[in-house]
Structure 1
């Protein structure tokens, strides 16, 4: 059964407002905190249990599986642009532990996208058309957040070069050192996106997210947005987070070896112990489009506004731009030649 969050004032369906961070009623304008709504008016929703609230929509074109409520804008797939999403039954347990709510609403996301298009002089005009812009979609992307207890024993050979002068003679001395560092550290909430459809490198570039706004998951946050279920379990993608933790503790150890002309790491023994993980949803605005039979993607961090995007080049604009430069150069050359006659 779909979930509807009824307005306590007029009974209309409410949606999560990223600007006020509250549930908002588009009919009467009432605003109410998500937690307060759950405590006072949970009976106004058509379902009470999260497992029953979640509905799955399956894209017949690319196979993406999305979780959303009835009032999510589910008229097209965020990944391939297919206008038909077919509801399917929910498989397994996919309730997140935490969520970062959207802070950038659709109007702001569209404004950011339009400004991005203007900054590319060779960007195709088709990307600014309403038919393209209207496909931008707010999507909660699944993440696993990992905690680690780490330690490294680092051994390095280092050199310090110093120069002295006596009269007309310059003396260069090279001092050699054996350096040892033992570093212990704890890392919390190292992120790894658990979506099969979202490219890992692009998702890494969308970081960082502000964890100060990480809050306990509540279904009303999804109202008005799409949310993809995770494709990979915590165990299946933990290696990605482990590699990041390895790099972090290595960088920390390296940062303590200073004051030398050169440093050569000869041994770096890392001990990494996982201490926990949690399932979270992070906000991303996504726009997929095709140009010259190629797929391009625009992604916007729905919390911070950071952009990660592909920018196609218009052949006509590139030709015109090149021709313009050629003409200007030719005119300058001709006038420059006349000045010397």
Structure 2
């Protein structure tokens, strides 16, 4: 089915048969005329995409600015969101928050996407994914679960960076290994002193060091500064093996967000991800029962990156005069978002948990009393 957001800011291509507007169709994965139904294949390949070296020269970067069509940026004064539209079109509202406070900037000079995952879910399918998702939430008001939520849904390509790198780490640490011994102790029971034995744990520490090589492929970093990062993380089940080489036709009928996390800022976040992974893996290599004074020194080589556009249905709705937002992964249908909560259900659940915990405490105390 063809995307039906109806946004005036979406990129359009004329139909060779009737001259009408063509837009990307999620069912046929091609351009489809919205008037005569004619279809046109998109020239794009799936699979390995070109990686760009991180130390590109200014000339190299200039060559990456061609998006295949002239674009302008739209900036929302209300929420700060930025989207890209064709230079010959205008828009009066923000697709993120609906605000009319939008400003047109000059033509875009930003790195074009290297790859894109086209939308697989139509507008109606995205609404269906949300309807199924909200029915599975525990603490939603029953009235909200049953009602048909009217959402303002927009298909948006969200920018991401991916990074590849080779790493070499040397590390040192102190490793603690648990040992056990039997010790004799005394205690007073019913006024009488008695002797008993128990097992005591102690830790033996020793120094260790070593090195570790590791390759990282496609560390995925959102380049959007507009969205809640936690919500984006929950949409992160994109299948990157289905990346297509970029073609502007994929954007037809949809909106693309302008990245505002630079490739340098994205690399800093990618390093944090890599550092966390290296820390966990090196700890596994070291082993032991405890580790202290761990020091890891890592060098990063052969750093490459790609700019990606990944499909997301972005939606807003109102419940009891309060605004809420959710997103649907345009490839897999995974949903993340904010929903209203039922205070009654949360209170009842809390009381149930407290009752169960209290029962366990009473059972434990009764057992202790019986033992003594």
- Contact 1:139 1:286 (C-alpha < 8 Å) held by counterparts: yes
Alignment-derived partner of residue 333 in structure 1: none
Q: CA deviation at 1:244?
A: 0.6
Q: 1:265 to 1:311 in 2, by over 3 A?
A: farther
CA distance in 2, matches of 1:308, 1:106: 16
Q: 1:311 aligns with which of 330, 339, 364?
A: 339
Q: 1:150 to 1:297 in 2, by over 3 A?
A: same
Alignment-derived partner of residue 98 in structure 1: 115
CA distance in 2, matches of 1:250, 1:268: 8
Listed one character per residue, the Cα deviations across residues 15-56 of structure 1 (whole Å, up to 9, x for unaligned) are 1122332222333333332107xxxxxxxxxxxx74643243
Alignment-derived partner of residue 158 in structure 2: 141
CA distance in 2, matches of 1:89, 1:224: 22
CA distance in 2, matches of 1:310, 1:132: 15
Alignment-derived partner of residue 206 in structure 1: 235
Alignment-derived partner of residue 208 in structure 2: 179
CA distance in 2, matches of 1:230, 1:137: 18
Q: 1:124 to 1:67 in 2, by over 3 A?
A: farther
- Contact 2:11 2:85 (C-alpha < 8 Å) held by counterparts: no
Alignment-derived partner of residue 155 in structure 1: 172
Q: 1:78 aligns with which of 82, 95, 104?
A: 95
CA distance in 2, matches of 1:268, 1:27: 61
Listed one character per residue, the Cα deviations across residues 186-232 of structure 1 (whole Å, up to 9, x for unaligned) are 21322222222112232233213211012221101011111111123
Alignment-derived partner of residue 71 in structure 2: 54
Query: Partner of 1:132: helix, strand, or coil?
Result: coil
Q: 1:62 to 1:2 in 2, by over 3 A?
A: closer
Matching of residues 297-308 of structure 1 within 5 Å: 297-308=325-336
CA distance in 1, matches of 2:67, 2:167: 36
Q: CA deviation at 1:245?
A: 1.1
Q: CA deviation at 1:176?
A: 5.1
Which 5+ residue runs of structure 1 have no aligned equivalent?
A: 37-48, 326-341
CA distance in 2, matches of 1:182, 1:264: 17
Alignment-derived partner of residue 272 in structure 1: 300
TM-score, normalization by structure 2: 0.68
Alignment partner of 1:193 is 2:193: no
Q: Size of the alignment, in residue pairs?
A: 306
Alignment partner of 1:132 is 2:140: no
Q: CA deviation at 1:291?
A: 4.7
Query: Partner of 2:21: helix, strand, or coil?
Result: coil
TM-score, normalization by structure 1: 0.74
Alignment-derived partner of residue 355 in structure 2: none
CA distance in 2, matches of 1:53, 1:129: 43
